[in-house]
Amino acid sequence: MHTKGIAHRDIKPENLLLGNDMDLIIADFGSAARFISEENKILEFDSSIIIGSREYNAPEINMNKCYYADKADIFSAAVCLFVMVVGNIPFRTASYSDPYFKLLTKKDKKDYWAIYSSVSISSEFKGNFSLHSFRFFY
């Protein structure tokens, strides 16, 4: 979809389906948009037009900043992965006013992962699930 210049802009578990051969099918393209212009330039989107689901939206969208739709899809997909592994959303909203998001953005994430101490989560997942990996955000 991204290679075709289309961003979904509402990636969340409810829009992810499994086909007969366990192929991932992305559904509900009601918020989708082209993110590459006729001149092959990547477009910025205005976050004042609310799209997607707050729990899965990238920080720029929740903080009313312009955003790149393809990168916002990747952020939403990472939140979906977290939900699949941990069984809960990582934060209520990706903004600094959210205490969980704030903990997750700190260099030392020990306090964040202590919240999930009763859930069996590999250290590899914990190490790789870092908002610092998403350098194109905020």
* 45 DSSP 8-state letter: B
What's the pTM value of the predicted model, to 2 decimals? 0.88
Q: What is the pLDDT of residues 44-92, one digit of tens each?
A: 998 888 788 999 999 999 888 899 999 999 999 999 999 999 999 999 9
**Would residue 10 show up in a list of annotated catalytic residues for this protein?**
yes
Write down all domains in the chain, each with its CATH number in brackets.
2-133 (1.10.510.10)
Burial of 35 (0-12, 13-18, 19+ CB in 10 A): buried
Q: What is the pLDDT of residues 116-137, one digit of tens each?
A: 999 999 988 888 776 655 544 4
C-alpha distances in angstroms, 60 versus 27, 64, 72? 24, 6, 8
Of 128, 55, 53, the closest CA to residue 89 belongs to 55
Cα gap 58→72, rounded to integer Å: 5
